[in-house]
Amino acid sequence: MRIDLSNLKELGSYKEINETVEFEEISFRQREIEVPGPFLLSGNIYNAGKEFILNGTLEGKLIFECSRCLEEFTEKIKIELEEEIPREEINNLENVDLTHLLKENILLSIPIKLLCSEDCKGLCPVCGQNLNYEQCDCKKENVDPRLAKLKDYFEK
């Protein structure tokens, strides 16, 4: 996302931002994370002398793969931003690229544990069945038939 700051030359001058930001896929821990739609950046940016200060929120959705059941799930992301952009890092005030800055913030907001839900049951280690949808028979088959009868008895 590029922004024109050329009319913020005076100290204290500011402008509101309300823009959609498109990201291509985002790389995270050697994986590509799908971005199903644009993010929304809203807030303001002002000239604080040696730097510009960006305040606002960045909202959007990301598609992750659950680390237990490997299903994809969509997660809403909402980030409160407060960023300083040093004046000396800006070459051209008319065309300031915020993409990298915003991407960094998105990466930092990604939870360490990526689970489709807190109580995701994961996959059966034997047959690979997604246990969130259906139970498989694997455990029963591993149990001695006589014990299984006993188990049935106790379950009754």
Interface residues with Zn ion (CB under 5 A) are: 66, 68-69, 116, 120, 124, 126-127, 129, 136, 138
Task: Indicate the residue type of 45.
Answer: I
| Minimum CB distance to Zn ion smaller for 55 or for 132 | 132
CB of 113 to Zn ion, least distance (A): 11
| Minimum CB distance to Zn ion smaller for 68 or for 102 | 68
Distance CA 46, CA 82 (A): 11
Region for residue 100 given its phi and psi (left: phi exceeds 0; alpha: psi -120 to 50; beta: otherwise): alpha
CB of 127 to Zn ion, least distance (A): 3
CB of 51 to Zn ion, least distance (A): 42
| Minimum CB distance to Zn ion smaller for 40 or for 110 | 110
Q: Give the position of tokens 């996302």.
A: 1
Pairing of strands 26-28, 31-33: antiparallel
